[in-house]
Structure 1
Amino acid sequence: MPSSTPPASYASLPFKDIAVTHVPADSPTATKVLIVAFDRPQKFNAVNENLLNELETVYNLVDADPRVRAIVLTGNGKAFCAGADLEVGFAGLMAHKKSEEAMRSYRDQGGRVALAITRCSAPTIVALNGPAAGFGLTITLPATIRVAYSGAKIALPFSRRGLTLESCSAFFLPRLIGLSNAMHIATTGSAYLASDPLVSRLFSALLPTPQETVAHAVKLATDIAANTSPTSTKLMRDMLLYCPDTVEKTHVLDSRLFLDVLGGRDNMEGVKSFMEKRRPEFGGKVVVDGGVWPWWDVRTGEEGGREKAKI
Structure 2
Amino acid sequence: YNCYGLVIVAYNGLSVGIGMTSTLAASIRYMFSETNSAARELTIAPHKTEFGFPLSRIGITMESCSSLFLPRMVGYSNATYLLSTGKTYPAESAVLHGLFAELMPEQKDVLPRAIELAQDILTNVSLMAVHINRQLMWRNPGSAEGTHLVDSPLLYDMFGGKDHLEFKKAFFSKRKPAFNDVLSRDAPRTCPWWNELSVQTKSNMKAQGSNTSKL
TM-score normalised over the length of structure 2 = 0.82
Question: How far apart, in 2, do the equivalents of 1:198 and 1:297 lie?
Answer: 34
Task: Map Cα deviations across residues 131-166 of structure 1 (whole Å, 9 max, x no partner).
Answer: 101111012211111111111211111111111110
Which 10-residue stretch deviates more, 170-179 or 269-278? Answer: 269-278
1:242 aligns with 2:139: yes
Q: CA shift at 1:228, angstroms? A: 0.6
The reply to whether residue 289 of structure 1 matches residue 188 of structure 2 is: yes
Counterpart of 1:140 in structure 2 is: 23
Query: In the alignment, what sits opposite 2:4?
Result: 121
Mapped to 2, the partners of 1:295 and 1:195 lie a distance apart of 37
The Cα offsets for residues 120-140 of structure 1, whole Å up to 9 and x where unpaired, read as 110112111211011110122
Counterpart code for 1:193: P
For 2:48 and 2:83, how far apart are their aligned partners in 1? 20
- Contact preservation (8 Å) 1:154, 1:192: yes
Q: Which has the higher contact order (CA 8 A, sep 6+)?
A: 2
SS class of match (1:244) = coil
TM-aligned CA deviation for residue 200 of structure 1: 2.9
Distance (whole Å) between structure 1 residues aligned to residue 188 and residue 79 of structure 2: 38
1:285 deviates by: 2.0
SS in 1 for 2:153: helix
Provide the rounded CA distance (Å) in 2 between the counterparts of 1:211 and 1:162.
Answer: 35
Alignment of 1:181-220 (within 5 A): 181-220=78-117
**Structural mapping, 1:1-311, within 5 Å:** 118-145=1-28, 146-283=43-180, 285-286=182-183, 287-290=186-189, 292-302=190-200
> Are 2:162 and 2:181, in contact at CA under 8 Å, matched by a contact in 1?
no
Letter in 2 for 1:273: A
RMSD (Å), alpha carbons: 1.7
> Once the 2 structures are TM-superposed, how far is the Cα of residue 218 of structure 1 from its aligned partner?
1.1
8 Å Cα contact 2:51/2:88 also seen in 1: yes
Question: Does the CA contact (< 8 Å) of 1:128 and 1:152 recur in 2?
Answer: no
Partner SS, residue 159 of structure 1: helix
Q: Structure 1 CA distance, aligned partners of 2:199 and 2:115?
A: 36
Query: C-alpha distance in 1, partners of 2:74/2:60?
Result: 21
CA separation of 1:204 and 1:221: change in aligned 2, threshold 3 A: same
3-state SS, counterpart of residue 119 of structure 1: coil
Q: State the Cα distance separating 1:264 from its structure 2 match.
A: 1.4
Aligned length: 187
Mapped to 2, the partners of 1:255 and 1:171 lie a distance apart of 25
Residue 289 of structure 1 and its aligned partner are, at CA, apart by 3.4
Hey, what's the Cα distance between the residues in 2 that align with 1:193 and 1:221? Answer: 25
Structure-1-length-normalised TM-score: 0.58
Q: Distance in 2 between matches of 1:262 and 1:140?
A: 33
Three-state SS of the structure 2 residue aligned to 1:280 is coil
Task: Judge conservation of contact 2:56–2:83 (CA < 8 Å) in 1.
Answer: yes
* Separation of aligned partners in 2, 1:122 and 1:191: 30
CA distance in 1: counterparts of 2:133 and 2:96, whole angstroms = 24
| Cα separation, 2, equivalents of 1:151 and 1:256 | 46
Q: Find the aligned partners of 2:175 and 2:22 in 1 and give their Cα distance.
A: 36
CA contact (8 A) 1:127 1:148 kept: yes
AA partner of residue 235 (structure 1): I
- For residue 300 of structure 1, report the CA deviation from its aligned partner: 1.6
Give the % identical residues.
Answer: 36
Larger helix proportion of the pair:
2
